[in-house]
């Protein structure tokens, strides 16, 4: 039965961390004078209690899955790539830019996705090379590129891709390039299929191809991997390539699949944050592509329900990101379950020897 425990254990740890996170959220709410119970009730009711809410959860999960994949594949190779945010902006820009061209429906969307993926890859190229050639730690290089991308996107949104009629947004993605909606009246588009397919493909890649095997080996034991013939430089390049593509796709699905405007707003307000949230999602999903999907749905649900929580209980919706932060902190502990058992033991009343 040990294999069952082995598979179940990370799930339990994530659940436990989730509980801790929600608990911390409740504490904060209570400290600021809000009542946590109706807040959480509204939160969960909205996100998971209604079909509508579930559709919203899935729609939110779409870009999260992809940005989480970026971090996850890096982590599997032993790299700390936190540049999904910047890569995602470039992907969104690329997807919008392609709408300047006329292409038949269907093809247009495919090309847009491909172009966006390429944009993400290009954005990751320099940090990858800096790491290989100069040993620059990817944490620093990818964050700098995030900020460069932030400003570049600002410029593109305001000047190059701007909608001539409504200057506070870019041109809308052409109808031929939009992702079809799966459920009328919701935000849920084909993007979720794209994202899930990407996650599934990445799973197959990592566990069923030789190249994926080598990436995992390099991350798990660089010495043994080198002994087994794995090239560390090729690993870095490959991982940035795949991660960049995923993040680029995230930006694309967000503009191509979000009614009613199908555009990016100035200030990047409608796409900002997915990159960072993706890191948290990746950790909750234990950096496993198949675990990322439910983790993204969970977090997407929290985000979806947060609006109702704000409306009904008055708790500002950003609380969910704070909760996510605590969940990740809890996951930083190496043996969460063991510590939990120790904690429980210290709580239980001591028995008197009879």
Site for other proteins in 144-173 (CB under 8 A): 144-148, 151-152, 154-155, 158-159
Part in contact with other proteins (CB under 8 A); list of ranges 110-118, 135-143, 192-200, 239-247: 135-143
Residue 345 touching other proteins (CB under 8 A):
no
Q: What does the alpha-carbon distance between residue 341 and residue 76 come to, in Å, rounded to a whole number?
A: 29
Interactions with other proteins, residue window 203-242 (CB under 8 A): 208-211, 213-214, 216-217, 220-221, 223-229
Of residues 240-269, which lie at the interface with other proteins (CB under 8 A)?
none
> Token pair of 306, please?
């947060």
Pair of tokens at residue 71: 């971090």
Closer residue to other proteins (CB): 11 or 140: 140
Q: Please state, as a whole number, how many other Cβ atoms lie within 10 Å of the Cβ of residue 239.
A: 25
Whole-number Cα distances in Å, 26 to 32, 98, 314, 322, 328:
10, 45, 14, 11, 16
Determine the Cα–Cα distance for residues 109 and 174; give it in Å rounded to an integer.
9
Q: Are 53 and 186 in contact (CB under 8 A)?
A: no
Q: Residues 70-99 vs other proteins: string with x where CB under 8 A?
A: ----------x-x-----------------
Give the one residue of 15, 27, 32, 166 binding other proteins; rule: CB under 8 A: 32
**Per CB under 8 A, which of residues 303..342 are in contact with other proteins?**
315-334, 339
CB of 118 to other proteins, least distance (A): 21
Number of residues that bind other proteins (CB under 8 A): 71
Q: In terms of CB distance, is 105 or 221 closer to other proteins?
A: 221
Nearest one of 87, 104, 99, 67 to 283, comparing CA atoms = 67
Of 209, 206, 193, nearest to 113 by C-alpha is 193
User: Is 2 a binder of other proteins (CB under 8 A)?
Assistant: yes
């Amino acid at each position: 039965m040990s294999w069952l425990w082995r598979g179940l254990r990370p799930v339990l740890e994530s659940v436990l961390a989730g509980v801790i996170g929600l608990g911390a959220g409740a504490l904060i709410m209570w400290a600021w004078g809000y009542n946590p119970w109706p807040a959480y009730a509204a939160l969960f009711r909205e996100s998971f209690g209604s079909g509508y809410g579930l559709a919203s959860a899935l729609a939110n999960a779409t870009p999260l899955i992809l940005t989480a994949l970026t971090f996850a594949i890096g982590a599997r190779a032993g790299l700390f790539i936190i540049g999904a945010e910047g890569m995602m902006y470039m992907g969104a820009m690329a997807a919008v830019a392609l709408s300047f061209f006329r292409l038949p429906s269907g093809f247009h969307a495919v090309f847009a996705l491909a172009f966006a993926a390429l944009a993400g890859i290009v954005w990751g190229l320099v940090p990858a090379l800096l790491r290989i050639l100069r040993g620059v730690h990817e944490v620093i290089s990818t964050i700098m590129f995030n900020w460069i991308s932030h400003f570049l996107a600002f410029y593109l949104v305001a000047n190059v891709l701007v909608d001539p009629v409504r200057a506070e947004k870019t041109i809308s993605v052409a109808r031929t390039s939009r992702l079809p909606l799966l459920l009328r009246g919701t935000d849920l588009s084909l993007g979720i299929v794209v994202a899930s397919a990407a996650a599934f493909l990445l799973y197959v890649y990592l566990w069923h191809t030789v190249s994926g095997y080598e990436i995992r080996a390099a991350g798990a034991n660089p010495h043994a991997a080198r002994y087994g013939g794995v090239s560390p430089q090729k690993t870095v390049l490959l991982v940035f390539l795949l991660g960049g593509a995923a993040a680029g796709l995230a930006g694309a699905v967000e503009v191509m699949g979000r009614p009613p405007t199908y555009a990016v707003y100035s200030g990047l307000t409608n796409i900002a944050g997915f990159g960072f949230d993706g890191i948290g999602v990746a950790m909750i999903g234990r950096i496993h592509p198949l675990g990322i999907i439910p983790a993204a749905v969970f977090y997407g649900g929290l985000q979806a329900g947060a609006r109702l929580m704000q409306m009904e209980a008055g708790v500002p919706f950003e609380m969910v990101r704070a909760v996510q932060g605590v969940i990740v902190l809890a996951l930083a502990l190496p043996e969460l379950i063991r510590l939990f058992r120790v904690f429980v033991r210290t709580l239980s009343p001591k028995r008197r020897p009879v």
